[in-house]
Amino acid sequence: MPNLKKRPENAAPVVLIFDSGVGGLTVFREVASARPDARYVYVADDAGFPYGNQPPDALIKRIVQVIGDAIAAHNPDLIVIACNTASTLALAELRKNFSVPFVGTVPAIKPACARSQTKRIAVLGTRATVSLEYTHALIREFASGCDVILVGSPHLASLAERELSGLPVADAEIAAEIAPCFVDNDGRRTDTVVLACTHYPLLTARFRKLAPWPVEWIDPAPAIARRVADLLHEWKTAAQSAPPQIFFTSGRAPPAPLAAALRSFGFN
């Protein structure tokens, strides 16, 4: 991990948060509450959304391009890839191309297996995330003694975008996407579900209501916030926190209900 270079006179670090859409807001809110004095720039590649159903090679190229443009525009000190699909696919390539330190978001398989009592967990992510070697390697390394069900959801990230944009999403649509996580076999039920897409914690209340039985839903955001706080540990600032900024690669202005939701996350 490259070292963080301090800005002059204890100015606040600039932290860039990146996702294909609004899912990274679930990471942003935790990171910002851990380091409220940092300056946050959120970049949503909505022109490329959804990432989860796209061919890997073109997507890696796109992510490197969008992050390169964001670095040129905002000169960040630290970049949080608040997207499991982008992290599992492109983190290595990003680190190869840019000297800014990156924090990625990858499926929380290790803590989920450690917490599971029944030793049956599900990983709920985009189709890309659950099919990538990066995720399979995490399972080989950290899931021994635990049965892992991989569930690639084709629509859940789009449903979360819809919900945050004020468009109602029917219970049945959500229930159908999460149903494969719930396995009851050999007297052992799924008791833990890894939310391996940053959009999904936007729907946690709906998941709890629609689950056929109670499970623990693991959101990676608090762990990412701890990692960022660790990296910025020695960076003391004298600054008042500046309001966060958000940019959409489409250049479109968010519709009124989404703008209202963004205000609730602190964006003007």
Mark residues 134-163: x for contact with ligand DGL by CB under 6 A, - for none.
-----------------------x------
> In sequence order, what are the residues at sequence separation of 6 or more whose Cβ sits closer than 8 angstroms to the Cβ of residue 192?
112, 113, 115, 116, 121, 122, 215, 216, 218
Catalytic residue among 113, 146, 181, 197, which? 197
Q: Is 28 near ligand DGL (CB under 6 A)? A: no
How far, in Å, CA of 42 to CA of 231, rounded?
19
Smallest separation, CB 32 to ligand DGL (Å): 18
Question: Do the Cβ atoms of 66 and 43 come closer than 8 Å?
Answer: yes
Smallest separation, CB 53 to ligand DGL (Å): 7
- DSSP assigned state of 53: T
How far, in Å, CA of 108 to CA of 90, rounded?
18
Smallest separation, CB 128 to ligand DGL (Å): 7
How far, in Å, CA of 140 to CA of 236, rounded?
39
Q: Which stretch binds ligand DGL (CB under 6 A): 46-54, 64-72, 170-178, 224-232?
A: 46-54
Interface with ligand DGL: number of residues (CB under 6 A)? 17
Q: Is 129 near ligand DGL (CB under 6 A)? A: yes
Question: Do the Cβ atoms of 146 and 72 come closer than 8 Å?
Answer: no
Instruction: Tell me if residue 113 is catalytic.
Output: no
| Residues annotated as catalytic (active site), given as ranges | 83, 197
Question: What is the contact surface with ligand DGL in residues (CB under 6 A)?
Answer: 19-21, 23, 49-52, 83-85, 126, 129, 157, 197-199
